[in-house]
Amino acid sequence: MSTPDQPDQTPQPGGTPSGPPAYGAPQPGQSQQPPQAPQYGAPQAPQYGAPQSPQYGAPQGTPGYSAPAQDPGKTLGIVGLVLSFLGCLSIVGLILSIVAFNKSKKAGYKNGVALAGIIVGAVVLVISIVVGIVLGIGIGAVAEKCEELGPGTHYENGIEYTCPG
């Protein structure tokens, strides 16, 4: 007599009990070899439901896409370019552009904005120096003429000179 918890163990012809074989017991026709432990370095099938450890350094999100690295001299190059256009601050823009260009170069980036800042800053600086020299010479010449003529308004060769008194 069998209970609902125990399968019927009546012998069948062939000498095996009826019902499913015990877990791990060999099926008829299989050899009796113990299961092998996994070899180190051998690939293993993923265990479903097991938590995966995070892959540090692997890009997250879209496969095959990683965020571009930042150029360390980009912002400084932009500031240098803007300041390079201002006559009195072109020397500051030139210096900032050179620093930005060198930072980018050391990091392995090309910084066209900083290069443009260097070129513009150098050109504007040279023009500012030339204009400063011309204005200085012109103001010096007018001051010398006013010393000759004295205070007041004077006309000489169609040019009006107003000299302070």
Q: What is the pLDDT of residues 15-68, one digit of tens each?
A: 555 556 555 556 666 666 666 665 666 566 666 666 666 666 555 556 666 656
More confident residue, 160 or 123: 123
- Mean pLDDT over 117-124 rounds to 95
87-121 burial: b if 16+ Cβ within 10 Å, else e: eebbbebbbbbbebbebbeeeebebebbbbbbebb
By the 10 Å C-beta count (0-12 exposed, 13-18 middle, 19+ buried), 161 is classed as: middle
The confidence score (pLDDT) of residue 116 equals 95
Q: Collect all residues with Cβ–Cβ distance below 8 Å to 47 and sequence separation of at least 6.
A: none
More confident residue, 65 or 151: 151
The rounded percent of the chain whose pLDDT value lies above 70 is 58
Residue 116 to residues 93, 96, 103, 131: CA-CA distances in angstroms?
A: 11, 12, 15, 22
The answer to whether 72 and 108 are in contact (CB under 8 A) is no
Give the integer Cα–Cα distance in Å for 19 and 10.
10
More confident residue, 45 or 132: 132
Domain positions in the chain are: 74-163
